[in-house]
Structures are given as structure tokens and as C-alpha cells.
Amino acid sequence: MISWDYLWPLFVAMGIVLAVVPIAGLYMTFVERKLAALIQNRVGPNRVGPAGLLQAVADGIKIFLKEQVVPNHVFKSIYFLAPTIGLICAMLSIAVVPFGPTEVGEKEGFRAIIAPGIDIGLLYLLAVSGLSAYGIILGGWASNNKYSLYGAIRSCAQFISYEIPLGLSLLGVIAAAGTLNIESIVASQGPGLMHWNVWWQPLAALMFFTAALAETNRLPFDLPECEQELVGGFHTEYSGIKFVLFFLAEYTHVVTVSFLTVLLFFGGWHFPGLTDSVDSTWGGYAVRWCVLLAKVALVIGLIIQLRWTLPRFRFDQLMGVAWKGLIPLGMLNLVGLAVVLTLDLSKWWLAVYSLIIVLLVGIANVASTRRTSTSNSRSNIATDLRSAPYEGAS
């Protein structure tokens, strides 16, 4: 029988996640609007509460009180089910992600993770988060609307394409740590700053962040909604609380991606000079927790800034980034990883290898751009000559 000593930390962790995630989703909209206003030289929300801090609460109350409009032409059972699928998958994926310092193999007392010690944690997370695509796909299909259907088709292609480089980017981290357990991967980066995975696997870190950004449908990868082309895409026929569930799932995925980026590549709750000498008391725990949350906040800020900085890809460019860019880079990175591990070389050779690959890709891209520019110039000159009037004509 499972003892109460094991259950109470589980219930506490679940309560923290269920209480914090919806509030974080609400206030991420506020932060995003404030950062967008800063980038665009506007003021942003400033009416409700001091400095507009209660604007997110007012928006949440308004959404709950809105009329629940259900179009007559939708497939109602799947129409109502679709928003919940994405949110459930997003919440389930958080179960294996440490949201605070957690010792490997720790079994007693409070643990900042719902399901500690899962030896296939990363595999479980990839499997569950991949299922969230069904929420968007079914929502677009059940809406019985051509714009929603186009968004669902784009979502299906996008998720399938970017799951591959996402998995490839994690192989180096898994091979180095020798485990799929996220707590163990964080512990392997604890000895010092230069043990962080990002230093010797910069290419894998960049691939993971890019693919994960596509998985969350954030700009420049928001092709499933794409307001300028598809009205609202897969959520065109949704309003009220059903509409909010889609975006709560999206922001939950953003939080999960930010935590994973920090935990897998940036040392998690470790930081030189701050966490090296702290003990296992509540004070030391608070220091490590603050370090982790500060790193996660920086990643979330970067994701929000990218939305208001980069233009949206065309659909062919979206597919090209995955199949012509990230997947070949992932395969090359995998080959370099295999050579380093087989020959028992220093892992820093993989960092040199990654930088050489990035340099060669940059040179090839510049050369291709110049060839395209030269070809277009010649084509324009030829067109001008053909369209020029004959000088001897009367």
C-alpha cells in the first residue's frame, strides 16, 4: 500500500502546478502585451489596477461571463472536446518537469516535481506533448469551416515536421548523461559553468529551441492560426472560455519549453558562485529556486520578444526550415556525436564540430543568396531590353 508520506508531497506538487499554471497563463498575456508595447513604443495595459496589473484578472472575469456561442454547422461533440485535449496534454507533460531543485533519487519530503524519478521522463514528455496536436487538428476539423480546416492541416504538417529535429537535438544530451531522467541530466551539469550542455552542444540547443518554438505555435511559426490569411485559423469558430482553453494550453507549453531549455542546456538550478556552496536547508533551496526561475523568465522573455520581432514564415519556408535545415543539421550533429563517443574523445570536439557546421552553412547560404541575386538581376536586365522600344521606329 502507498503510504501517506509518499502521497502528501505528490498532492502538494499537483496543487502548486494546478494553482500557478492558470495564473501564469493569465499574467503571461499581460507581460506579452507590455513587452509588445515597449517594442512598438506604446503604453500597453495601464487602466485596471496599479500599472495595469489587474488587467489580466479583468480579462479572465470577462471571458468567463461571455456568452458561449456555438455555431449550428459544427460537429458538437468533437468541437467541445478539442480545446480540452491540448490543455490536458500540456498539464500532463508538466508532470515530469522539475519546477524547482530536486535531488536525484530523493524519496522523502516535498519534491518540486509531480512524478519524481521517472527513468523515461524525456520520452514520456515527447510522447504526451506530441498528442497536443490532436486538439488543434480536431478543433479545426470539427469547426466545419474551410479556414479552420486549413489551419488544422498546417498544424498537422508542422507538428510532424518539427518533432523529428526536436528528437534529434535531444540525443546528444541523453547520450552524455546516459539517462532519460530529467533530474539526472540537471545533476550532470552541476559541477560548474563549463559543464552546461549548451557550451559543447550549441547546435543541439539552437535546434531544440527552434523546434520547440514551432511546437508551441508561436511566431514566426504560428501558421495554424495566421490571422492575416485564415481569419483565426483552427480557432475561428471558438469564443469565450473555449477560446481561452486553446491559449492557456499554448502558454502552458511555452512555460514547459522554457523550463526544458533551462534544465537540459543551461544547468537548471545551478549557477557558479550562487549554488556551489549552498546547503540543503530551506535557504539554500530558495536560492536554487530563484536561480531556476530567473533563467526561465529570461527564456520566456526571449520567446515573447521573438513574436514581436520576426515576421511570419510562408508555409513553404516553414517546411523548408525543418526538412532542408534542421533535420540535415540534426543528422550531421548525430554523426559528430557518434564519432566523439565511439573514439572516446573530449566532448569539446563536438562544440568545435558544431561551430564548423554553422560556419559552413552560413557560407553556403551567403553564396546561394548571391547567386539568386545575380540571376534575378540578369533576368530583370533581359526583361528591360525586350520591353525597350526600337530606336529606329517612327
Q: Is residue 386 part of a domain?
A: no
Residue bearing the bigger pLDDT, 166 or 225: 166
pLDDT over 90 (residue 295): yes
Q: What is the DSSP string of 188-254?
A: HTTT-GGGSHHHH-HHHHHHHHHHHHHHTT-TTS-TTT-HHHHTTGGGTT--HHHHHHHHHHHHHHH
DSSP letter, residue 94: G
Residue 152 maps to a domain: yes
Global pTM?
A: 0.87
Report residue 362's pLDDT band, with 50, 70 and 90 as the boundaries. Answer: confident
Contact assessment for residue 296 and residue 258, using Cβ atoms and an 8 Å cutoff: yes
Question: Is the per-residue pLDDT at 55 higher than 50?
Answer: yes
Q: What's the pLDDT at 388?
A: 56
pLDDT in tens, 121-142: 888 888 888 888 888 888 888 8
Domain with 35, as residue range(s), is: 4-314
Q: Is residue 365 part of a domain?
A: no
CA distance 212 to 254: 9
What contacts 24+ positions apart, CB below 8 Å, involve 318-322?
Answer: 318/158, 318/161, 318/214, 318/221, 318/223, 319/157, 319/161, 321/210, 322/161, 322/162, 322/164, 322/165, 322/211, 322/214
* 394: confidence class by pLDDT, cuts 50, 70, 90: very low
Structural domain count, the chain: 1
Distances (CA, A) of 164 to 126, 132, 225, 271: 11, 16, 22, 31
pLDDT at 384: 59
SS3 367: helix
pLDDT digits (tens, 9 = 90+) for 76-91: 888 888 888 888 888 8
Q: Is residue 323 part of a domain?
A: no
In a domain, 391, yes or no: no
Cβ 196 vs Cβ 265: under 8 Å = yes
Is 72 a domain residue? yes
* Residue, of 210 and 369, whose pLDDT is higher: 210
Predicted confidence (pLDDT) per residue in 256-278, tens digit? 899 999 999 998 888 887 776 66
* 329 belongs to a structural domain: no
Residue 117 lies in a domain: yes
State the Cα–Cα distance between residues 225 and 247, nearest whole angstrom: 11
